[in-house]
Structure 1
Amino acid sequence: MKVIDILNSPKPTISLEVFPPKTDAVYASVEQAVEKIADLKPSYMSVTYGAGGGTSSHTVNIAKHIQCDKGVTAIAHLSCISSTHDLVHQQLIKLKEAGIENILALRGDIPEGFEMDNLDYHYASDLAKEISDFGGFCIGGACYPEGHPDSANSVEDIDNLKKKIDAGCQYLTTQMFFDNNIHYKFLYKTREKGIFCPIIPGIMPITNAKQVERAIKLSGTIMPPRFLSIVDRFGDDKEAMAQAGIAYATDQIIDLIANGINHIHVYSMNKPEVAQKILENLSSIVDNKNL
């Protein structure tokens, strides 16, 4: 099934993101976690793509396993900043042969000291265009409600999002945020610029205090005082912080759904227990068949 068909449903749904193993040595343990998450029957699952395509084969294999063996629609991430046209074309063939119909088109992080001259791709819109020309895939893109770190301002950032849509992206998934008002304001700005595709909020359950620093580093996200109070109070207690972080993420999701945003993407961090507790908290709200 193509993700855009799921997103056209009026029923609230939860999708989950997982990441493939970085090495063959941990493949079995990651696969086991992914299987447990798939058993929760989210609306779909996305599988990330390592920097420089380092986990590309694992991304395909995990996505295929999720879809073919576990019966859950899968999205394979594909980044392009360090790829050639030939490598991307080969990856598209592998995904098609694996039965994957959905791709999240990403530029990817630029490695420190990376030479930007003579690249086949500079932007995610370049990759989206190539996937669209190849045909047969539902294409998603990424967006930053608080602004892409490489954009000069929000106007430029949203103009670039419009280029992704024009290049073939059918929906967008946001980077994590912890204040829903940021997302609501972002939606207003995108609609004002003529972007009317589904924009799926990405929610990250923070279950330990160390994740806070990482989240800020990754996305430059603003941590609201209410959330920082939770970290200050429970950050040194592992179980309490996990419970509070799950509750905070659940509250964000309920508020989003109450305000008419029916499809939510959760960054599970390969933690089945976290994904399960969130879905249990939403068992009468989202369209989940197991809970």
Structure 2
Amino acid sequence: MKIRDMLAKGNPTVSFEIFPPKSTYPLETVFETMDSLKDLNPDFISVTYGAGGSTKGNTVDIASRIKKDFGIEAIAHLTCCTSSKEGIQETLASIKESGLENILALRGDIPEALQNDKNWNPQYRYASELIDEIKAFGDFSIGAACYPEGHVESKNMVDDLKNLKRKVDHGADFLITQLFYDNELFYQFREKMELVGVDKPVIAGILPVLNIKQVKHIQKISGCNLPPKFLRILDRYEHDPQSLQEAGIAYAVDQIIDLLSYGVDGVHIYTMNKPDPTRRIMESICSVRQAACKAVK
């Protein structure tokens, strides 16, 4: 089923993101994660690349098996900044042959070695160009990324919103946000989207914080704001890993309940291939999720 059709029904979706295991781990480990998540009834599963795109060859295979073997809709990530047009066409053919109907179209992170290479001439510079390729190839439901606090490479928020509108104008059906920890910034972002004429469904990305190292990495790559409430948790439990994990899960639950009460189009949980925290979150929001769906009906 196409995700755009799910969202058109009006019920808030709940989805998970998983990623292929590192090359040093057996591929089957990701399906062990799926075994632990399948009974939570996500609306769809997103399959990303590994770090640096190192495991991109497994993305389509994993997404296809999730749909066929587990009976859960899947969306495959597709990045383009280091891809050739021939490579993208081959991947699209593989996605279509596998029976997948959903693609998350991303520019992708530019490898550090190429960032200052003046001779580098990529065939794709923007996700909007990839969206054009996907639409020309077949009838897929296309998702794109958005950034409630602005992309780290954007000059300013206005520039970032212009880039977002370009992706939507080129054919993105729905949007999934980068993780954030301040819901008010997300609500403000939705208002800004309306001002520039972007009216596609937006699924909120939530990552439960489980350790300090994770927080530092998140801030480095995304520059996301950490609100006072969140900082108090870090300060209080920095040297108590178990308590920090408990507090991180509770914070994610609080975020999601607030988002569902707001009427969010969907919630996307970045599982980090850790089923236990995801299970605890889903158990905590079960009744609120059901109530949110009833409210729509």
The TM-score, its normalising length taken from structure 1, stands at 0.95
- The structure 2 residue matched to 1:168, chosen from 171, 177, 180, is 171
On the 8 A contact 1:38/1:66 being kept in 2, the answer is no
Per-residue CA deviations over 1:62-109 (Å, capped at 9, x if unaligned) read 101111100111000000000000000000111111111000000000
Unaligned runs of 5+ in 1: none
CA distance in 2 between counterparts of 1:230 and 1:60 reads 38
Shift, 1:209, TM fit = 1.7
CA distance in 1 between counterparts of 2:51 and 2:96 reads 22
On the 8 A contact 2:218/2:224 being kept in 1, the answer is yes
Residues 1:204 and 2:207 aligned together: yes
- Which residue of structure 1 aligns with residue 71 of structure 2? 71
SS at match of 1:39: helix
What amino acid is aligned across from residue 251 of structure 1 in structure 2? D
Alignment of 1:42-57 (within 5 A): 42-50=42-50, 53-57=53-57
CA distance in 2 between counterparts of 1:85 and 1:24 reads 30
Residues 1:31 and 2:31 aligned together: yes
What amino acid is aligned across from residue 123 of structure 1 in structure 2? Y
Shift, 1:31, TM fit = 2.3
SS at match of 1:285: helix
On the 8 A contact 1:77/1:104 being kept in 2, the answer is yes
The TM-score, its normalising length taken from structure 2, stands at 0.93
Residues 1:263 and 2:274 aligned together: no
Shift, 1:24, TM fit = 6.0
What amino acid is aligned across from residue 130 of structure 1 in structure 2? E
Decide which moves more: 111-120 or 251-260: 111-120
Higher helix proportion (structure 1 or 2):
2
- Which residue of structure 1 aligns with residue 185 of structure 2? 182
SS at match of 2:153: coil
Residues 1:158 and 2:161 aligned together: yes
- The structure 1 residue matched to 2:285, chosen from 251, 257, 282, is 282
- Which residue of structure 1 aligns with residue 223 of structure 2? 220
Alignment of 1:48-127 (within 5 A): 48-50=48-50, 53-114=53-114, 115=117, 117-127=120-130
On the 8 A contact 2:201/2:265 being kept in 1, the answer is no
Shift, 1:163, TM fit = 0.7
SS at match of 2:27: helix
On the 8 A contact 1:12/1:287 being kept in 2, the answer is no
Which stretches of structure 1, 4 residues or more, deviate above 4 A after TM superposition?
none
What amino acid is aligned across from residue 229 of structure 1 in structure 2? R
User: Cα–Cα, structure 1 residues 287 and 63, in superposed 2: closer, same or farther, change >3 Å?
Assistant: farther
User: Cα–Cα, structure 1 residues 52 and 203, in superposed 2: closer, same or farther, change >3 Å?
Assistant: closer
Decide which moves more: 190-199 or 56-65: 56-65
CA distance in 1 between counterparts of 2:264 and 2:275 reads 24
What amino acid is aligned across from residue 111 of structure 2 in structure 1? P
- Which residue of structure 2 aligns with residue 244 of structure 1? 247
Shift, 1:11, TM fit = 2.3
CA distance in 2 between counterparts of 1:11 and 1:143 reads 21
Unaligned runs of 5+ in 2: 292-297
- The structure 1 residue matched to 2:147, chosen from 129, 144, 147, is 144
Alignment size in residue pairs: 288
Decide which moves more: 209-218 or 19-28: 19-28
Shift, 1:37, TM fit = 2.0
SS at match of 1:82: coil
**Aligned-pair RMSD on alpha carbons?**
1.5
CA distance in 1 between counterparts of 2:20 and 2:185 reads 30
Shift, 1:52, TM fit = 5.6
